[in-house]
């Protein structure tokens, strides 16, 4: 458990968008996908996912419809809207810029100054 990182505030939405961009998912599926693509390195309480999902639906970035899961249970599947896809691109770019800046800042050595 100790090797899991706390999510930075505001990053959950980006993770959800990214997870769903790989294909429509139901809520539990989103969790599994995030675990899978992050190498189980991120700590998310299961229930905390849902307010995020609902927020994104309300912002028009996700759309939801009921269907049947691989376990043969009824589940609500989420997929990206056009706006969602666009938002994912923007957020990814800005994250990359931030991450690069942070990385370079943290890696800076005295002799480079």
40 is a site residue for other proteins (CB under 8 A): no
**3-class DSSP string for 82-112:** HHHHHHHHHHHHHHHHHHHHHHHHHHCCHHH
Cα 34 to Cα 14, 94, 109, 113, distances in angstroms: 11, 20, 34, 38
112 is a site residue for other proteins (CB under 8 A): no
CB of 47 to other proteins, least distance (A): 4
CB of 32 to other proteins, least distance (A): 8
Q: Which residues bind other proteins (CB under 8 A)?
A: 26-29, 45-48, 50-52, 54-55, 57-58, 69, 71, 73-76
């Amino acid at each position: 458990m100790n090797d899991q990182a706390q999510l930075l505030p505001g990053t959950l939405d980006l993770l959800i968008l990214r997870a769903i961009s790989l294909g429509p998912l139901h809520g539990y599926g989103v969790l599994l996908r995030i675990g899978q693509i992050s190498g189980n390195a991120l700590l998310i309480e299961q229930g905390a996912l849902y307010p995020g999902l609902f927020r994104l639906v309300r912002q028009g970035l996700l759309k939801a419809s009921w269907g049947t899961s691989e376990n043969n249970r009824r589940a609500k599947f989420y997929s990206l809207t056009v706006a969602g896809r666009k938002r994912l691109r923007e957020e990814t770019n800005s994250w990359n810029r931030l991450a690069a800046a942070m990385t370079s800042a943290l890696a800076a050595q005295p002799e480079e100054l």
